[in-house]
Structure 1
Amino acid sequence: MGLYDAARLFGFEVESSDNLRFIPLAVRFNLDRFGMRITLDEWQQLPYDDRALLARFPVEDDVELEKNFDLALEEMLKTHANTAPEKIARDPEPVWMHADAVPETVIRQSSLSGISAPSLDRWGQLDRFQRYALAKLSRNTDKVNHDFLPAMKEFGLVE
């Protein structure tokens, strides 16, 4: 699998990413997956074309591209922000990897949003990147995430 032809954005992200001003979920996914963290300020220091390139990296497993994402991000940050991505521990068992249990945070965010949580069957039918997106959007259980309901609608979990 090679790079996507265009930045990988969910429909609900197109407006909220503000033309890649904010870090899209595809980039967040790869950052988390590869144990890296960058700040929004660092992201915004990258030229648009670099941000678009990072958002074109696949969200599927591809060992060959893993190092390329790492190296590309490191070189971009070094060149444009005079910094390096922070290295963080990878979560060996992220909740979104499990199709057999709806995460408590997703259930709570559903409740805050005034909708039913996905059934176990529907959760299991989502691909892992969709599950990642809902888990990421539901991290804060104290307030409604403005992208959570649009994501649930886009994934066919609510009408």
Structure 2
Amino acid sequence: MGLYDAARLFQFEIESSDNLRFIPLAVRFNLDRFGMRISLDQWQMLPYDDRVLLARFPIEDEAELEKNFDLALEEMLKTHANAAPEKIPRDTEPVWAHTDAVPETVIRQSSLAGVSAPSLSRWAQLDRFQRYALAKLSRNTDKANHDFLPAMREFGLAE
């Protein structure tokens, strides 16, 4: 599999990403997956076309692309931000990868958003990128995430 034809954005992200001003979930997914972190300031230093290119990298497991994502991001940051991505430990057992339990953070965020948490069977039916998105959007359990409810709606989990 090669790059997607266009930036990989959920429908709810199109408006909230403000024309890729914010780091889209597809890029966050690959950053997390490959053990890298960049700041929002670093992201915003990248030219728009570079941000689009990073959002076009597949989210499927393909060892061949890992090196390409790493190299592309490192070169872009070096060129445009005089920086390098921070290396972080990879989570080898992320909560979103499991279909046998709905993460507590997703249950809590559902409550904050005023909707029922996904049932275990509905959680298991989501693809892994959808589960990742809900888990990522529910990291802060103190307040409702503005994208969580739109994501739940887009994934058919809320009215």
TM range (shorter): over 0.9
Given the two structures, how large is their TM-score scaled by the length of structure 2?
1.00
- In 2, the alpha carbon distance for the partners of 1:27 and 1:109 equals 22
Over residues 84-135 of structure 1, what are the superposed CA-to-partner deviations in whole Å (9 max), with x where a residue is unaligned? 0000000110000001100000000000011000000000000000000000
1:101-116 equivalences under 5 Å are: 101-116=101-116
Deviation digits for residues 34-81 of structure 1, max 9, x if unmatched? 000000000000000000000000000011001000000000000000
Within 5 Å, give how 1:80-95 maps onto structure 2.
Answer: 80-95=80-95
Question: Could you say which residue in structure 2 is the equivalent of 1:26?
Answer: 26
Cα separation, 2, equivalents of 1:74 and 1:35 = 13
Q: Give the 4+ runs in structure 1 shifted more than 3 A.
A: none
Counterpart in 2 of 1:8? 8
Residue-pair matches, total: 159
Aligned mates of 2:126, 2:99 — CA distance in 1 = 8
1:44-55 to structure 2, matched below 5 A, reads: 44-55=44-55
Q: What's the secondary structure of 1:107's corresponding residue?
A: helix
Structure 1 residue 122 corresponds to structure 2 residue 122: yes
Letter in 2 for 1:99: T
User: Structure 2: how far apart are the matches of 1:17 and 1:60?
Assistant: 22
AA of the residue aligned to 2:105 = T
Q: Which ranges in structure 2 are unaligned for 5 or more consecutive residues?
A: none
Percent of pairs with identical residues: 87
User: Counterpart in 2 of 1:145?
Assistant: 145
Q: Return the alpha-carbon distance in structure 1 between the equivalents of residues 28 and 56 of structure 2.
A: 12
RMSD: 0.3
* SS at structure 1 position matched to 2:3: coil
Report deviation, 1:28. Answer: 0.1
Q: Distance in 1 between matches of 2:80 and 2:114?
A: 42
Inter-partner Cα distance in structure 2 for 1:151 and 1:83: 32
Aligned to 2:73: 73
Cross-structure match for 1:99: 99
TM-score by length of 1: 1.00
Residue aligning to 2:17: 17
The amino acid that maps onto 2:150 is P
